[in-house]
Amino acid sequence: MREPPVSDPPVGDPPVSGPARSGSARAEPSQADLARAAALALLSAAVPGDRLVVRAHDGDGARDALGELLGRTPDSVTIDTRRGPAVVRLDDVVAARRVPPPPPPRH
């Protein structure tokens, strides 16, 4: 017994999968966007003396500033690193986290 031939699907818009959305279509935020938003929220809530690591764009790569928050302006944060104060522009921030205090020195 032969099966009937399969016909091509109709030409036109492809079927829409997933739940129907009302209003304009919006792209979901990327992981990088979410990490940046969380970092900026953390930096806005941090107080001087908080120990942080802040990752920021630097040319084609990134750099980390690890240390205590010294201060904040509307455009930047200053982290007291082992190499001295590092000013990080908020526009360049990729991620930030609170970090525990350094271990005690070995004798």
Q: Using the predicted structure, report yes or no on whether residue 20 has a pLDDT greater than 60.
A: no
CA within 13 Å, CB half, 76 = 9
Q: Does domain 49-98 have CATH number 2.60.40.3710?
A: no
Domain map (residue ranges) of the chain: 49-98
What rounded mean pLDDT belongs to the chain?
85
pLDDT band of 107, cuts 50, 70, 90: confident
